[in-house]
Amino acid sequence: MVDVCNHLKLNYIDLEGTIFRQGYMPAHIKGNLSHLFSERGYAYLGFRSFWIRDQYDISNNKCLLLVRDPRDAMVSHYFSYLYSHGVPSSGPVSTTMSNNRAKFDGIDINEYVLRPQFINVFKNGFQNYETFLAPHMTRVYRYEDIIYFKNEWLADMLNHLGVDLPADIASDIVKKHDVRPLQEDPSKHVRQVAPGNFRQHLAQETIRSLNEALSHILNKYGYDRVNTVSL
């Protein structure tokens, strides 16, 4: 979507990324940021949680939400947070990430993902999306459904937003971002892209525990069953 905005000469703002690069998280910002939001003419993107609900009413704005199997997301978080994600050079996030990497150095991935506080982060995140995003203005996509169909995904997003983009430009954007590592590399931020990777890293007992703790999410988004199509 950044490339789409660039082509359309549409101003976009990555508030969360900008805050993070300064070494902060949204929770560290005590002032009201509502003056940073404009009703029209800008794209706001890059949100990893829904802290925006406290700053601006987006019920009349078109939104795109990409969800992912939380079990895969947890495994991804383990490798990213502890190994590959860049650490800001200053600020409280720099201290926190550095301390946590030392604290969790060598921790087993099963122990990492089964921490109650960690599980609640994902549960609360999904709950906030369901509570505060306006269904009639929001298009929801599953990571698992678009990883191999990016052309169709981009076309549908543009349709939802009411944006026209030449087919050749859209195709070039998709090709640029269609990154599929030949093999898993924990040291890289794009470690691997295949859905269901949690099965290669988590013990069966861990998966059963997560299935129970995350049952609402897995059921609502179809992660607890094999999807079929009726003729």
Per-residue confidence (pLDDT) for residue 146, from 0 to 100: 86
Secondary-structure percent of the chain, ordered helix, strand, coil, rounded to 5: 55, 5, 40
pLDDT band at 9 (very low <50, low <70, confident <90, very high): very high
On the 0-12 / 13-18 / 19+ scale of CB atoms within 10 A, 50 is buried
- What whole-number distance in Å separates Cα of residue 170 and Cα of residue 4? 8
DSSP single-letter state for residue 128: H
Residue-wise pLDDT for 154-206, tens only, equals 999 999 999 999 999 999 999 998 877 666 666 555 555 678 889 999 999 99
pLDDT digits (tens, 9 = 90+) for 134-148: 999 999 999 888 888
Q: Of 231, 208, 224, which Cα lies nearest the Cα of 144?
A: 224
Per-residue pLDDT band for 151 (boundaries 50, 70, 90) equals: very high
pLDDT in tens, 30-81: 778 788 888 788 999 988 888 887 778 888 899 999 999 999 999 998 988 7
What pLDDT sits at residue 161?
A: 94
C-beta of residue 214 within 8 angstroms of C-beta of residue 88: no
What does the angle CA 115 – CA 199 – CA 81 come to, to the nearest 5 degrees? 45
Instruction: Give the C-alpha separation, 102 to 113, whole Å.
Output: 17
CATH code assigned to 2-220: 3.40.50
Place of tokens 């997301």: 73
Query: On the CB side of 164, how many CA atoms lie within 13 Å of its CA?
Result: 0
CA dist list (Å): 2 to 86, 163, 172? 20, 14, 13
β-sheet bridge partners, residue 63: 138
Q: Residue 7, exposed/middle/buried by CB under 10 A (0-12, 13-18, 19+)?
A: middle
Band of the pLDDT at 208, cuts 50, 70, 90? very high
Q: 30: exposed, middle or buried (C-beta count within 10 Å: 0-12, 13-18, 19+)? A: exposed
pLDDT at 106 over 90: no
Q: What percent of the chain has pLDDT over 90?
A: 49
Given a cut of 90, is residue 82 above it in pLDDT? no
